[in-house]
Chain A
Amino acid sequence: MTTQPHITPVEDTVPKVAGELAVGENLEFQHRWWTFERIIWPIFLLVVVFDLLGGLGHGWLAKAKAATSGGALTLDYERIERANTPSTMTLHFGPAAIREGHIQVFVSNSVVQELGAQRIAPQPAVSSVGEDGISYTFPASVSPADIQIQLQPSDVGLHRFRVRIPQVAAIEARVLVLP
């Protein structure tokens, strides 16, 4: 037995123009859409300009600097990062940071975990794992001395981190990681 198709009467529901052609024009909707477009294009432009300025990472607005009062430690980092995108955090050490030919610096676990520290240059002579972070010891004789930490964050969100020279100075800062 064959199945019969279900048929309903044909009703012309599409509005006609000049009573002759079924076009389905809706000028009211179209004018509202053009208004929406007039609003959205400037917003797109603002987003691109904001991005060029670094408001979405990798630019002038994203760059941040923090320093301890004595100048023992200065930190260059990006306050706005992008997920899975490499960046560099640079630690500048002043004379006060060098003790007995060594610089010892502590970084909180968030630098390694949330901010995704990939490698540190130069390589530390000693690394030791603590309760809430890692201590690195570098041989150093002259100041200023720089250390670079390559970051590649994977966790989106606002992350706090701490960099400290034990008994000398500490810096606490926040980084926003965008998706």
Chain B
Amino acid sequence: MALIAASTVLRAVFGYLFLVLIVRIVGRRPGKQLTPFEFVLIFYLGGLTLTGMVGTEASITNAVCQILTVALCHYALSSLRFRSETLTRLLDGVPLILMEKQGWRPDALRGMMIKDDDVMAVAREQGIHDLSGIRMAVLETFGQINVLPVPPEQQDEDS
């Protein structure tokens, strides 16, 4: 019986850490909101993990223990992330410059599977009409592309 209890806790730990790894590897995608494509991924991954974590034990006790286990794992990981710069980079990644004054960064675009159109879509949202109006485009660790416009005085000088 003790083994069964331990196995449910271990399953919860494994499920949490495995999902953290998979979601990290699947990567950042641009956009402030989830696309339908990403909805499918998130719900499907969650559902499949749940099947393995719960197994044949559909009791409330099991659910409570596994939720507490996942909460503790999350707390422990957040605490370690706070203390370690390396773990922060491993869990969150680092911001990436997609475009700067000199031009596009093709390695970053290819590596993150982001098209220049994706950057332009964000720029248009900010009222930037063309590439000359972008000073820098940065892919943040949380998946959002931030576009910094060229200051108006600099635009006047260029024109």
Contacts and interface: CB of A to CB of B under 8 A. Distances in A.
Interface in A23-67: 23-26, 29-30, 33-34, 37, 40-41
Interface string B100-126: 110000001001000000000000000
Contacts of A24: 94-95
A29 B93 CA distance: 8
A23 B70 CA distance: 32
Contact of A25 (B25, B55, B95, B111): B95
Contacts of A18: 100-101
Interface in A61-112: 83-84
B148 interface: yes
Contacts of B27: 37
Interface in B9-67: 25, 27, 55-56
Interface of B: 25, 27, 55-56, 89, 93-97, 100-101, 108, 111, 136, 138, 148
26 contacts: A17-B97, A17-B136, A18-B100, A18-B101, A21-B136, A21-B148, A23-B95, A24-B94, A24-B95, A25-B95, A25-B96, A25-B97, A26-B89, A29-B89, A29-B94, A30-B93, A30-B94, A30-B96, A30-B108, A33-B93, A34-B111, A37-B25, A37-B27, A40-B25, A83-B55, A84-B55
Given A29-B89, A84-B55, A84-B56, A23 B111 contact: no
Nearest to A41: B25
Interface of A: 17-18, 21, 23-26, 29-30, 33-34, 37, 40-41, 83-84
